[in-house]
Amino acid sequence: MSWHTGTQATSDVLRALLSACVMLSAVVHLDLWANGMNTLDVVGPAFLLNGVGGLVLGVLVLVWRHWLPLLGAVGFGVATLTAFVISTTPGGFFGVHEQWVGIPVWLSAISEIGAIVLGIAALVVERRQTSVQG
């Protein structure tokens, strides 16, 4: 077995970091769901779906060498971060009013920004890799 080099190695590292970001956000959402968010009508099921979906997506990013999991991870980051930002506005998000306070908030926000940036970077690197090979 040999180590990947060049753009393949870059792709491997980006996918690993991307998977970690998506899974961290997922685990934070599952923890929050288990510790009280499950009682909320709309947001509770969304937290559970976010947690389970994020874990599945994190695995797919690692095992399926296709652009779809990368795009899914970017969408995951954008959707989750957007929902949180909306919840910090005066109108809130389905009755939830949050603040930029607490470790779970910052872990999620940073990991979701990471998912967006790393997912886009992986898409670009793999697109270039495909065009060079093709």
Q: Reply yes or no on whether the pLDDT at 95 is more than 90.
A: no
Q: Give the H/E segment covering residue 63.
A: helix 43-63
pLDDT (0 to 100) of residue 132: 64
pLDDT tens digit sequence for 34-80:
999 899 989 999 999 999 999 999 999 999 999 999 999 999 999 99
Q: How confident is the model at residue 134 (pLDDT cuts 50, 70, 90)?
A: low
Residue (of 53, 91, 44, 99) closest to 72 by Cα position? 53
**Token pair recorded at residue 115:** 């998912």
Residue (of 106, 113, 119) closest to 82 by Cα position? 113
User: Which whole number is the average pLDDT over 102-121?
Assistant: 97
pLDDT (0 to 100) of residue 92: 85
Distance (Å, rounded) from C-alpha 101 to C-alpha 74? Answer: 24
105, with CB counted inside 10 A (0-12, 13-18, 19+), is middle
Distance (Å, rounded) from C-alpha 133 to C-alpha 97? Answer: 49
